[in-house]
Structures are given as structure tokens and as C-alpha cells.
Amino acid sequence: MIDIKSRLDTINSLLSEGTKKSLTYAALECRLTIELICYERLKISYDYISHADLKKWQPRNVIEQVAEEANEDVASTFTISISTTPATEGSEPKTQEDYEALSYVPIGTQAGFNIRKLGKLWNALSNVALHVSLPEQKNDQISIYGDIDSTKSKVIEVIEELKKFKDGNLITSGFGKEYSFECNTCGTTLKRKLNLLKNGQVINCISPSCQESYNIYIQGDQAFHSRRVFETPCNECNSNVQIPQRQVEKLRFGQSPLLLDCESCKTPLHIELVPCKKNT
Ligand SMILES: [Zn+2]
Ligand SMILES: [Zn+2]
């Protein structure tokens, strides 16, 4: 886990130097720390979301997507405790009251945060300190560093937010029932949180080298999946050749074609994107 105390020490020492230069570096350290916090929580959720599923890379967007698709508690504060009473067979606790009657010891606490607020601060740091402002006219002065007071106040705001993470000593990938299946091509087990799956959702294999993706269908409280493929008959043996749809979606006009062999007769296939006139 990120050592927040050491991050805060670095930022505070730059802040106390108080120069334009040190405050700019403090702003950069703040921004990097926000990214670290968000990406660390993304990383632990990679069992339930794939890198290929990510729509944007900015920390706020990443965490919002993780909350929607992989772990709704990604930014929540909670403590996990374990009961000191072993459950004996036949007399397991059944009701909420049964569980509440047991004694517990805490294992750890996840520090929560306001996704929107941290995202706004990440943007603001860049606006006040991490760009040279674009001159609008010939007489404008170009300055390396931003306004010292604005930078300082943003750094102080971030420090206050980061202090909230000091009591957190664990992060989790979330709770709840899973829907899982094996990828057709690479055999990796793909797991998703059942309550976060949506009808019509497309999910990608979590293996970075695998091109498979799947359509999700929800009926009642059950989930189903189907492989996303593009199908074309082989010119030689006429058997149906299935190509992962993601490979076809990556094709660009005028760029390298997709080369593969028919699985039945090994005849090479050449798939490329060609503009065609659509008759309506
Ligand atoms: Zn796969
Ligand atoms: Zn063939």
C-alpha cells in the first residue's frame, strides 16, 4: 500500500520551503499522489475489470468506472473485523442478531474519499502550477511558475484530503456475489460482481495478450455471456471462421490487414477495412 505519511512528508517539506519552485514541485507531488491512490485501487480491482475495459485514464474517471463496474465500495470507508468465536458445524450464526452477538477483532480499515473532489483537485493543480500559461498577445510575459498564492492554497487543500488516508491500512476489491466463466481462448477465469453487471454490457478478457470480449445478458438475477466474434466463410473449405470482434474493431482504413489461418484447412485469410458504398 502507498505510504501516505511519507508522501505527506515530501509535500510538506516542499511547502515549507515556500519558493515558487518548491511549491510547483509540491503541486506535482500532490498530483502524483492522487494518481497513485486511484491507480492502486484500480490495480486491486483488476480481477473484476480489464485494462481494455477502461474508457479513460484520468484518475477520477478510472475510479468512477471501477465503482460502476468492479467495486462499488472503491471509495468508501469501512472496517473489516473477524469474529473470535469459531463457527461450529450445525450451529452457524444465521440471523443478523446471531452475528451481532459474536465478538470481533478489527482487521483493518479502508479510507474512503470523495471521488469528485479529488478529481477536481487533480485538475486544479495542473491549472495553477503545472503548465506555462499560453500567452494571448505579444506583450504578455511568459513565466515558468504559476501564481504562488494559488499554488500554495491548492497544495494545502490536497494535504487536508490526503490526511484522511492516514488511518487506512487496507484496500479491498469489494464484496458480493460473483459471476465467473473461463475465456474461450486463453482459459483465464473472468470474474465480475454480479450486482454490477448490466444487460448488454461488453467485457474484455483480463489477460493483456488476449483479444477476446464477451456480451453480457441479464435475466432476472442470473447472468449469461456470449463470445463476441466476427464470422466469415473460408474461401477454400467454406467452414465458418470466427475472429474475435476486438481484432476486427482495431482495424483502420489503409493500415495493416489482419492475417490469420482457417482453423480447418489452414488457408490464409486476409481481413482488411475497405470503404464501401451502402445502398439504402
Ligand atoms: Zn482470454
Ligand atoms: Zn478453410
Between the CA of 2 and the centroid of ligand 1 the distance, in Å, is 30
Going from the Cα of 236 to the center of ligand 2, the distance in angstroms, rounded, reads 5
Give the model confidence (pLDDT) of 209-266 as tens digits. 999 999 999 999 999 999 999 999 999 999 999 999 999 999 999 888 999 999 999 9
Ligand 1 centroid to residue 189 C-alpha, Å: 8
Give the model's pLDDT for residue 44. Answer: 95
pLDDT of residue 234: 94
Q: Could you tell me how many residues make up the chain?
A: 280
What's the pTM? 0.88
Query: Chunked in runs of 10, what are the mean pLDDT values of the chain (280 residues)?
Result: 95 97 97 97 94 96 96 95 86 87 92 96 96 92 93 97 93 94 96 95 95 96 96 94 94 91 94 90
136: which 3 cell numbers?
494571448
232 alpha carbon – ligand 2 mean position (Å):
10
What angle (nearest 5°) sits at the alpha carbon of residue 153, between those of residues 151 and 155? 70
Backbone angles phi, psi at 244, to 5 degrees: -50, 130
Q: Which long-range contacts (CB under 8 A, 24 or more apart) does 227-236 make?
A: 227/184, 228/202, 232/269, 232/271, 234/262, 234/264, 234/265, 234/267, 234/269, 235/267, 235/269, 236/262, 236/265, 236/267
- Interval between CA 183 and ligand 1 midpoint (Å): 5
